[in-house]
Amino acid sequence: MIEAPAAGGSSAATRQALIDSDVHIEVPKIEALFPYLPNYWIEHIQQTLFKGPVDSYYPPKTDLAARPGSRPEDGSPAGSSLELLQRQLLDPTGTEIAVTSCLYAIDSLRNPDAAIALASAVNDWQIAEWFEKDNRLRGSIVVPTQMPAAAAREIERVGDHPAFVQVLVPVRTAQPLGNRNFHPMWEAMARKGLVGGVHFGGVPGVPPTPTGWPSYFYEEHAGMAQVFATQMTSIVCEGVFDQFPTLRIALLESGWTWIPAHMWRFDKEWKNLRRLTPWVKRAPSEYIREHMRVTVQPLDAPEFNHKHLLDIVEQLGSDDMLLYASDYPHQHVAEPEAALLRFLPDHLAQKIRSENARAFYGL
């Protein structure tokens, strides 16, 4: 059983190192990508109705998408200003490293050539406008996940850049991520030593529930943990980790309090049905604990009862699974420091604040 520290929480010494595993950066407008696009696509965007992705993973005008004060005064989306990111997050928190995610909805594009060109442009834009201007930033490669072979080529193109530590994959996809059609993408990540960052959202054109389209975004948002559970199950059952034993996957903005119960059920059904997937040679929970990590934000728990959270942390069965994340600029009910970390033993709190991410991302 995890014993909570004495009143007053963790010591100041253990709070010095902070690695933020989910920080959002956004393309302010399509014109920002023009320096990184071929002339053909600049002309196409200027002279036709095509203006790049128009879908968003979040309702763009809500506090869910942007905490107060995080939107630039010029009307650009929250997360599109390096200066605001530095002033509002990196500097005041003393963040050592921030792993960024750019949720530019490449997966929504039906024109394959447009998706390929814009993904490459976003990656070159990230390097020039973010990573070369602040050495605290590490990034996620944006790929056209609807075309895994093309995604693998983009990983090959920029995967050796030292600022990239991850490949961004929206959790909502037209096929489960364990499907062998995705193997070229997973193989490229494993070969380049990059983490697969499976993130909240995605607009693949299929319903976000097993029974069709919901009426409200609230339903979709509340049910996204079920999508993460489906992808976790698919990746393990279809032998992705057996095929690519060095592959690492981070679940970003998935919530995490559901994971112990899912692992229990997953292990139970594996014992009953393992002959259907003979390549899965170990209990699914062993694969998950070895190959997967999960960010602590959002924190889904009843009234953020710290005793309940300590039980769930223990039920994960590993001190290595949780990664600190602010999810800047998105807004949540409670911050990890207030709701969880100050109730943990110092050594475990510091693993979550920095050391788990340092080891997992090779920072």
Range(s) of the domain holding residue 191: 18-361
* Mean pLDDT, all residues of the chain: 91
Asked whether 203 and 171 are in contact (CB, 8 A), the reply is no
| Helix%, strand%, coil% for the chain, nearest 5 | 45, 10, 45
The gap between the terminal CA atoms of the chain, to the nearest Å, is 30
User: How large is the average pLDDT for residues 100-123?
Assistant: 97
The H or E element containing residue 187 is: helix 183-192
Whether pTM exceeds 0.75:
yes
User: How large is the average pLDDT for residues 104-128?
Assistant: 97
The answer for residues whose C-beta is within 8 angstroms of residue 34's C-beta and 6 or more apart is 42
Distance between CA atoms of 15 and 23, rounded to whole angstroms? 19
Specify the pLDDT at position 8: 45
Helix (H, G, I), strand (E, B) or coil at 172: coil
ω into residue 148 within 30 of 0, thus cis?
no
Asked whether 60 and 137 are in contact (CB, 8 A), the reply is no
For 210, the token pair is 């097993």
Q: Per-residue confidence at 11, pLDDT binned at 50, 70, 90?
A: very low
Query: Whose CA is closest to 115, among 152, 146, 140?
Result: 146
pLDDT tens digits, 215-268: 988 888 888 999 999 999 999 999 999 999 999 999 999 999 999 999 999 999
Asked whether 246 and 190 are in contact (CB, 8 A), the reply is yes
Asked if pLDDT for residue 19 goes beyond 80, the answer is yes
- Vertex 101: Cα angle to 28 and 154 (nearest 5): 95
Share of the chain above pLDDT 70, in %: 94
Distance between CA atoms of 181 and 8, rounded to whole angstroms? 51
pLDDT tens digits, 316-330: 999 999 999 999 998
Q: Per-residue confidence at 165, pLDDT binned at 50, 70, 90?
A: very high
Lowest-pLDDT choice from 125-129, 195-199, 222-226, 228-232 = 222-226
pLDDT tens digits, 27-84: 999 999 999 999 999 999 999 999 999 888 887 777 677 777 788 888 788 889 999 9
> Do the domain assignments include residue 11?
no
> Do the domain assignments include residue 304?
yes
> Do the domain assignments include residue 157?
yes
Asked whether 239 and 279 are in contact (CB, 8 A), the reply is yes
> Do the domain assignments include residue 128?
yes
Specify the pLDDT at position 5: 61
Structural domains counted in the chain = 1
Sheet holding 19-24, edge to edge: 19-24, 97-101, 137-142, 164-170, 195-199, 248-252, 292-295, 322-323
Q: Per-residue confidence at 2, pLDDT binned at 50, 70, 90?
A: low
Is 235 exposed, middle or buried, given 0-12, 13-18 or 19+ CB atoms closer than 10 A? buried
Q: Per-residue confidence at 3, pLDDT binned at 50, 70, 90?
A: low
Distance between CA atoms of 14 and 6, rounded to whole angstroms? 15
Specify the pLDDT at position 31: 97
Helix (H, G, I), strand (E, B) or coil at 138: strand
Distance between CA atoms of 237 and 276, rounded to whole angstroms? 9
> Do the domain assignments include residue 6?
no
Total residue length of the chain: 363
Any idea which residue has 């969880």 for tokens? 340
Query: Whose CA is closest to 25, among 72, 68, 70, 79?
Result: 79
> Do the domain assignments include residue 8?
no
Kindly report the CATH number assigned to the domain that includes residue 341: 3.20.20.140
Asked whether 46 and 106 are in contact (CB, 8 A), the reply is no
> Do the domain assignments include residue 12?
no
> Do the domain assignments include residue 2?
no
Distance between CA atoms of 65 and 78, rounded to whole angstroms? 8
Query: Whose CA is closest to 360, among 271, 308, 294, 296?
Result: 294
CA dihedral (155, 106, 299, 10) positive or negative: positive
Helix (H, G, I), strand (E, B) or coil at 139: strand
Asked if pLDDT for residue 4 goes beyond 60, the answer is no
pLDDT tens digits, 271-316: 999 999 999 999 999 999 999 999 999 888 766 667 888 899 999 9
